[in-house]
Chains A and B, each alone.
Chain A
Amino acid sequence: MNQYDVIIIGGGITGVGTARDCALRGLKVLLLARGDLTAGATGRNHGLLHSGARYAVTDRDSAAECIRENKILRRIAAHCVEPTGGLFITLPEDDLSYQDNFIKCCIDAGIKAEAIDPKEALKMEPSVNPALIGAVKVPDASVDPFRLATANALDAKLHGAVILTYHEVVSFIKDKNWIVGVQARDTRTGKTEKYYAPLTVNAAGIWGQNIAGMAGCQIKMLPAKGSLLIFGHRVNNMVINRCRKPANADILVPGDVVCVIGTTSDKVPMEECDDIRVTGDEVQLLLKEGCLLSPSLAHTRILRAYAGVRPLVASDDDPTGRKTSRGIVLLDHDRRDGIPGFISITGGKLTSYRLMGEMATDLVCDKLGRRSRCRTAELPLPGSEKELFDSAKGLRIAEKAAIGRQGTMVSKMDFSHKSEILCECEHVTRAEIAYAAKYLDVHNMMDLRRRTRVGMGTCQGSFCMKKVAAALARELGCPERTEEFIREYIEERWKGMAPVCWGESLCEAEYMRKLYADKKE
């Protein structure tokens, strides 16, 4: 009964991207995620759809790969991508001569980079630092990683894949050297179950090191923490980068109704990856550098701080582990370590997830002796089949916002009966919550937040938490869990608010505390 063609470990963008590709090629797929989908690095980055310009000078291959995938994702994931365009700006303290080489490298890699007059840049993006002395326009875009991963998972399911979130792989099932399946524990019930497949794909990102270890081989990951700040609303409508060698806090990305400055980069030990926190120094650094890109950040309310861990992989040919690759790493453990039935796909980046899935699936099909062409670059993701937003005139903000988040899937929402807005900051209706609960593997408030933006807005859930928790518990058929939902959610919200708790964020946090924490028994 628990027999599949392929088991994929990891609920990040690489895992769901691979699951979609495998499912589209007719394989019987099981995806196991330790927690929720997108709970790791996928949900903890800039949400930048790279044009590749960022890597053009240092890594031409990655740059060329980015621009190819960038063009594909604009097409297949239209409801997740906002074609904002990007600027690489040179400030008086930067070396303007970097720009010429930068443009040359971009064009070499196939990226349309065009130097524009600083005044023109200011007109295109009024929030940019007016002191700029140079600007280059590139086809960067903003992508919502939650939406992108959700759409991939949904499509995989529509093509027969089984997705089990909150299922942690605890051991591999081996037949001599062959890996023939995994044993996974449902972290919500504690029950353990065996699943079988001739092939298992390790797509667990930074945690892939542990998975590989469990399988009996070694992958050396080099966890690098990146911290970011989210502001309460957009100050910019184009991606703003510094035109210089990549450094800390030099990209400002508009993402949905907020904007995000990042990142820092610090090595962290593997043990810390499960609970990383943003420090005061990082907040200071992000703000200081961020204000150089867009001075208005100095007086824009910060909603929260968060950090992710980049899944950087040490190159196989360098035993010291110092040399890293930002490229895609596909490991055939049969050939590499003598462990048949096991593949790892790691490295890469959000922008190249589809290609990673394609490469992994090609190898899977090869191993299984299936011949099937990859179609993920052609078939639009569920939600992106057609553009609805332009015809949304006359609708309420909430309905337009739902179209923005879920694309054509709004057709599955019952606006006639569940139209009331529960999360006011992000205009989320009961209809959207019911839809997410039914179709998008939602088990708690955090899952719901990642699917719908519930509680991601200005009040960070202070005013909607109760209403949303009750609605979700009802949709999931477990009204008795309402209070538990609220409690978990407050803790999680508070974690992100604490590092930036001053000014209006402090007022908001105090308000939240008064509403929930000070309850007298």
Chain B
Amino acid sequence: MWPRRLSGGDAMQEKNISKDNFEQCLKCNLCATVCPMMAANPHYPGPKQAGPDGERYRLKDPKFFDLTLKYCLNCKRCEVACPSGVKVGDIIQKARLAYARQHNPLRDFTLASTDLVGSIAVPFSTIVNPVMASPAVKTLMDSVLSVDKHRSFPKYARNCFTTWMKREAASQQEKFTRFVTYFHGCYVNYNFPSLGQDLVTVMNACNYGVHIPDKERCCGVAMISNGFSAKARRNAMTNLKAFRKTDETILTTSSTCTFTMRDEYENVLGIDTSDVRDRILLATKWLYDKIERGEISLAFKSGYHKKITYHTACHMNKMGWAIYSTELLRMIPGVELTVPGQKCCGIAGTFGFKKENYTYSQKIGQELFDTLKALEPEVVACDCETCKWQIEMSTGLTVMNPISILAEAIDVEATRKLNSR
């Protein structure tokens, strides 16, 4: 009578591995203890309730979908905490994509359509930037679009990164024999081409040429979080198609783009990425690995000095890759690095731009802001652009991508010599 595990010819119940490890949830509530939103917002039921617990009811009837799931930041801290490997965050994301209606369709579409808005804004950046920054427009956007007036949109660049690449850098790249493909992402392309230029500088110094994908679209993260799954899937297919045309490593400088393409495409959008996933890497991880294996060496400027605090973005935490960025920074002589405990900054991409979320966003980030201010760094290093906007707005500190710090610190000529053997 004592329980026997079924075995033998049939594999019944040998493994009850389910999609998203849904079956594996033991209800221990560890996820609830790390959820930044749950601590800040009493209306959010928390990852366990919104995820596996709610899913049981949604399987019965989609009407059990709870509107408060919109508060999920998709930081995936719940998944990092789960001892049973339950994809708590993915379960929530998928429920939102399946059942949620847009609260504010025009605003959400505008926020999610980074490519569309970016390509319109860049040619008129000299007009757009001051207009967007003016208090009158901010107030108008607040009342009409419900985009919070405290937020500043990142400024648009004069020229797109891709334009610079084609005009200024593309021909020089062909001098190299080894290449990487750089997925620049929307932020670098429309707002902050200098980060892309820094990446090219570092790669070229390491004796690698840089290509850009044949056709690149926004990774789709904002579309996923705003409920535009069909658009996100179309973007994903375009990007993957471009990646499949080359066998070069796909490098990125944004943790969220990387995470989206490596994990969300497969887990949330259900697209098979197994053939390219391992080739999509954050530039800092790729560099660190190459240096570790002795395939790349860096030479640094003498007399460089910087007091840096590294902020671990949630998606860096999820990928477990923060260590590569911090170790890379530690290689720079003269860098004084501090890495405080991992705390969410609260912006979560487009989430924090929405008027109804602003208070929660700032409440979640407060602990991090206080920590950073107390450490008084010259710059904060961070692999995520939206964390950068949030920290710069909320602390007044300057935030730089580790690649830009590296570009600033290396002796380009000396590095090139080291790697041209």
- A residues with CB within 8 A of B: 232-234, 237, 254, 256-257, 277, 279-280, 283-284, 287-288, 291, 298-302, 389-390, 392-394, 396-397, 400-401, 421, 424-425, 427, 457-459, 462-463, 498-504, 507-508, 511
Q: 26 A-B contacts, Cβ less than 8 Å apart?
A: A233-B55, A233-B59, A234-B60, A254-B60, A256-B60, A257-B56, A279-B1, A288-B10, A298-B13, A299-B18, A300-B23, A397-B49, A397-B57, A397-B64, A400-B63, A424-B27, A457-B53, A458-B25, A458-B56, A459-B26, A459-B27, A463-B28, A499-B3, A501-B3, A503-B5, A507-B26
- Assuming the contacts A298-B12, A301-B16, A400-B63, asked whether A427 and B57 have C-beta atoms less than 8 A apart, the reply is yes
CA distance A498 to B1 in the complex (A): 9
Task: Check B53–A424 contact: CB distance below 8 A.
Answer: yes
List the B side residues contacting A502 at CB < 8 Å: 3, 5, 13
Q: B residues within 8 Å of A by Cβ? A: 1-6, 10-13, 15-18, 22-29, 45, 48-49, 52-57, 59-60, 63-64, 66-68, 84
> In whole angstroms, what is the CA distance A284 to B25 when docked?
24
- Bound state CA distance, A401 and B65, in angstroms? 11
* Beta-carbon contact of B45 and A396 below 8 Å: yes
Q: Could you tell me the distance between the alpha carbons of A503 and B13 in the complex, rounded to whole angstroms? A: 8
Contacts A254-B60, A300-B23, A503-B16; A427 near B53 (Cβ below 8 A):
yes
Residue pair A280, B60 in contact (C-beta under 8 Å):
no
Which residues of A are found within 8 Å of B16, using beta-carbon distances?
Answer: 299-301, 503-504
Please indicate the chain B residues that have their CB under 8 angstroms from the CB of A427 in the complex.
49, 53, 57
Q: A287-B12, A397-B49, A397-B57 are in contact. Are A500 and B64 (CB under 8 A)?
A: no
- Please tell me if the beta carbons of B59 and A394 are within 8 angstroms of each other in the complex: no
Q: How far is the CA of A256 from the CA of B61 in the complex (A)?
A: 10
Given contact pairs A300-B23, A389-B63, A458-B25, enumerate 12 new A-B contacts (beta carbons under 8 Å): A237-B60, A256-B60, A257-B60, A287-B6, A288-B12, A299-B18, A392-B63, A397-B54, A424-B49, A459-B26, A499-B1, A511-B28
Q: How far is it, in angstroms, between the C-alpha of A254 and the C-alpha of B60 when the chains are bound? A: 8
Closest 10 CB pairs of A and B: A459-B27, A301-B23, A502-B5, A298-B12, A501-B3, A233-B56, A257-B56, A299-B16, A234-B59, A280-B4
Cβ-closest chain A residue relative to B65: A397
Q: Which of A288, A302, A424 is packed against the most chain B CB atoms within 10 Å? A: A424
User: Which B-chain residue is minimally distant from A460 (CB atoms)?
Assistant: B27
CA distance A508 to B64 in the complex (A): 26
Q: Is the CB of A400 within 8 A of B59?
A: no
Residues of B within 8 Å of A400, CB to CB, are 57, 63-64
Partner of B1, one of A257, A277, A299: A277
Chain B, Cβ-Cβ closest to A254 = B60
In the complex, chain A residues whose CB is within 8 Å of the CB of B12? 287-288, 291, 298
**Contact pick for B56, options A283, A284, A288, A457, CB 8 Å:** A457
Q: Distance in Å from the Cβ of B95 to the closest Cβ of chain A?
A: 11
Contact A463 B49 (CB under 8 A): no
Q: Specify which chain A residues have a CB less than 8 angstroms from the CB of B17 in the assembled complex.
A: 299
A232-B25 Cα distance, complex, nearest whole Å: 11
CA distance A257 to B55 in the complex (A): 10
Q: How far is the CB of A445 from chain B (nearest CB, A)?
A: 18
The docked-state distance in angstroms from the alpha carbon of A159 to that of B26 is 44
Asked if B13 contacts A280 (CB within 8 A), the reply is no
- Nearest-neighbor residue (CB-CB) of B15 within chain A: A299
Min CB distance B249 to A, Å, is 36
Partner of B27, one of A237, A280, A291, A425: A425
B49 and chain A: residue at smallest CB distance: A424
Q: Closest residue to A390 on the B side, CB-wise? A: B63
SS of B interface (majority): loop
For residue A292, give the distance in angstroms from its CB to the closest CB of chain B.
11
Residues of B within 8 A of A424 (CB): 27, 48-49, 53
Smallest distance from the beta carbon of B152 to chain A beta carbons, Å?
Answer: 33
Q: Look across to chain A and name the residue whose beta carbon is closest to the beta carbon of B1.
A: A279
Contact B27 A463 (CB under 8 A): yes
Given A392-B63, A503-B13, A425 and B56 contact (CB-CB distance below 8 Å): yes
Q: Which residue of A lies closest to B43 (CB)?
A: A396
B27 touches A302 (CB 8 A): no
The minimal Cβ–Cβ distance linking B30 to chain A, given in whole angstroms, is 12
Q: Closest CB of chain A to B93's CB: distance in Å?
A: 17
- Of all chain A residues, the one with the shortest Cβ separation from B50 is A397
User: Within the complex, what minimum Cβ distance (angstroms) separates B200 from chain A?
Assistant: 49
Shortest CB–CB separation between residue B358 and chain A, in angstroms? 22
A19 nearest CB across to chain B (Å): 31
Q: Which residues of A contact B64 (CB under 8 A)?
A: 397, 400-401
CA distance A301 to B13 in the complex (A): 8
* A346 vs chain B, min Cβ distance (A): 30
B48, closest chain A residue (CB): A424
B55 to chain A, nearest CB (A): 8
Residue of B nearest to A282 (CB): B1
> What CA separation (Å) do A254 and B59 show in the bound complex?
11
Q: Judging by beta carbons under 8 Å apart, are A498 and B28 in contact?
A: no
* Chain B contacts for A234, CB-based, 8 A: 56, 59-60
Q: How far is the CA of A421 from the CA of B53 in the complex (A)?
A: 12
Please pick, from A237, A390, A421, A508, the residue contacting B49 in the complex, using a CB distance under 8 A: A421
Contact B13 A401 (CB under 8 A): no
- B182 to chain A: closest CB distance in Å? 42
CB distance from B296 to the nearest CB of A (A): 45
Residues of B within 8 A of A504 (CB): 16, 23-24, 26
A508 to B83, CA, bound (A): 13
For residue A232, which residues in chain B have a CB less than 8 angstroms away from its CB?
Answer: 23, 56
Cα-based distance from A499 to B6 in the complex (angstroms): 12
- The answer on a CB contact under 8 Å between B3 and A280 is yes
Give A237 to B62 CA distance when docked, in angstroms.
12
Distance between Cα atoms of A400 and B48 in the complex (Å): 18
CB distance from B216 to the nearest CB of A (A): 36
Complex: A97 Cα to B23 Cα, angstroms: 39
Q: CB-nearest residue of chain A relative to B11?
A: A298
Contact residues in B for A392 (Cβ distance below 8 Å) = 63
Whole-angstrom distance between the alpha carbons of A150 and B13 in the complex?
35
